[in-house]
Amino acid sequence: MQVLVTRSPDDAERTAERLAALGHEACLAPVTRIVPTGDPCPGAHYDALIVTSAHAADALADLDRMKPVFAVGGRTADAVRSQGFGDVTVADGDAVSLSRLIRGNLRAGLALLHVTARHHKEEPAWSLRAAGFLVIHWEAYEARAVESLPETAIAALRSGQIGAALHYSRRSADLVVRLAGEAGLASELRAFPHLCLSADAAAPLASTAATLVAGDPSEDALLALLDRLP
């Protein structure tokens, strides 16, 4: 089966390798690319770091490696360790478990520096602030939207070659819907199932296409949805 993958280029290549191992072919159509924002790191004191994506790794280069780090999942933790951080505690792959992990390991009142993207969700900051933590956001990188789908993806969509699509975030799914519409491919996008990492990622597609949501927010669970397709 040919599977549409709309992640940023580096992530998409890794997913393509996993799809190939499962006997599928990836049609790469990144709708974003990861770039640094250039925003300086806040000068405020912080007691620990929060990292919710491996894309933050480069931004960590000049930070204090003695600070404890709370990472959202295993791949993010590996990226943090590659920058020389030794005290890394790993959550279960989502913001809810990350907030719970921090609340269970740190006392309220501490300051947490969240190295994050320009377009980030309310969690884990919302629940941490509600629990008495000071959360400082550093928007160190962004997933910048591309202007159009690549021609190879447009051709595959027009010819009906795509059997399914993978979606990892609400923003990327929203961009896929918009870019497909601008290319005159809205109906083609409805012709196959869309497999989503979370209900949030599925939201932009829910009214226009059939969606399936992974049992947990991991790529393993997302790819397992391929076995449920005809």
pLDDT for 186: 94
Classified by CATH at the fold level, domain 35-144 comes out as Rossmann fold (3.40.50)
The mean pLDDT value for 155-169 works out to 96
Closest CA to 106 of 89, 126, 85, 81: 89
Give the count of beta carbons closer than 10 Å to the beta carbon of residue 144: 13
Q: What average pLDDT does range 107-130 have in this prediction?
A: 95
48-51 β-sheet, strand order:
32-36, 134-145, 111-117, 48-51, 69-71, 88-90
Question: Residue 115: beta bridge partners?
Answer: 51, 138
pLDDT of 208 higher than 80 = no
User: Domain coordinates of the chain in residue numbers?
Assistant: 2-31+146-228, 35-144
Tens of pLDDT, residues 74-105: 999 999 999 999 999 999 988 999 999 999 99
Q: Which CATH number describes the domain made up of 2-31+146-228?
A: 3.40.50.10090
| Domains 2-31+146-228 and 35-144 agree in fold | yes
SS3 47: coil
Distance, CA of 114 to CA of 56 (rounded, Å):
10
pTM of this structure: 0.81
- CA gap 22, 16 in Å, rounded: 10
